[in-house]
Amino acid sequence: MIHQKYWSQNLPARQAVKKALIAMVAMVKSCVQFALQKGVAVQPIRLDDPCILFALSRESAPFRREFRPQQAFPGAPCWAQFCGPAWLSVLVVETGVGQANVARTLDWLLAKPKLEGVPYQPKVLVFAGFAGALTDGLHVGDIVLADEILDEHGQRWPTTWPGELPEGRWTPTLHRGRLLSVDQLTGTAEDKRQFGKRHGAIAVEMESGVFAARCTQAGLPFACVRAISDDAATPLSPALVSLLSGGSASPWRVVRALVRQPGMLPELLRLARDTKHASVQLGLALGELLTLTLPWDL
């Protein structure tokens, strides 16, 4: 197996593989044309690369640095590109924050959109991103691999991938548990702990409820992988919750907020530091999950 850093940094190797793949595709086309001329039944081409959805580009950035974007998916309602080397190609999609954006993206994704005439149906879907800890045992950068998704109304969806993990040490460590999906950011430390006790969840976020429901309805294997970006003891001020309520805060919104409330600066710097660390850990965890569990169990 090619080491990903070697692949991403070695231009001659990438060019050689690209030439080989072009030659391989041409050979396959010739074989298909020959088979059709002879009346031989040909199996339809499958496009089923795994799909990883992120709400924000900040969440996906470290993963995309290792799995470099290769080809855009035309007609997508948001940023969507096939990433990584040919032997482990993944469709990466950035939906935007909130369940409405996720639902809009899934409407497109689950309708089997076509790439050069070939329908795309992922063999597995993974929603990845940040989450807030609801227990004191989770810290910034820890990884949650959800075994169940729960919303505020009590609806539950057991995740269906990856099942039993291969034995051995995982770096970073994967914490299995219930993930709570809510409509609004949770600010105070007391609210976080109460959410955890009330729902039996270890982390909270804002997109996985609609994602889990739609994947279950479609009968597609799915997973949710989250990196902790704020621990249970760290509150988010009302001003910061308001600033982030629309998802990714633009630089101008941040500047205006700081002019009005200069005291927010230390909190914003902490958030930037913690989300950067969380995104790096998330990229590492996703790389391990993909390389150690695919395609053997699907």
Structure tokens of 56? 């924000």
Angle between helices 208-218 and 99-109 (to 10 degrees): 30
Q: Could you give the CA distance from residue 92 to residue 83 in angstroms, rounded to a whole number? A: 7
Q: Which long-range contacts (CB under 8 A, 24 or more apart) does 160-167 make?
A: 160/215, 160/216, 160/221, 160/222, 160/223, 161/124, 161/126, 161/221, 161/222, 161/223, 161/293, 161/298, 162/223, 162/289, 162/293, 162/297, 163/297, 165/292, 165/293, 166/292, 166/293
DSSP-derived letter for residue 5 is H
Structure tokens of 288? 């391990």
- Cis bond upstream, residue 266 (ω within 30): no
Per-residue pLDDT of the chain (298 residues; tens, 9 = 90+): 334 443 344 445 445 544 554 455 445 545 545 555 666 554 567 799 999 999 999 999 999 999 999 999 999 999 999 999 888 899 999 999 888 999 999 999 999 999 989 999 999 999 999 999 999 999 999 999 999 999 988 899 999 999 888 888 888 989 999 999 998 877 788 888 888 999 999 999 999 999 999 999 999 999 999 999 999 998 887 777 776 765 555 666 777 777 788 877 888 889 889 999 999 999 999 999 998 886 544 4
Select from 3.40.50.1580, 3.30.390.50, 3.30.710.10, 3.40.50.360 the CATH code of 45-236+278-293: 3.40.50.1580
Q: Which pLDDT value is given to residue 110?
A: 96
Domain residue spans of the chain? 45-236+278-293
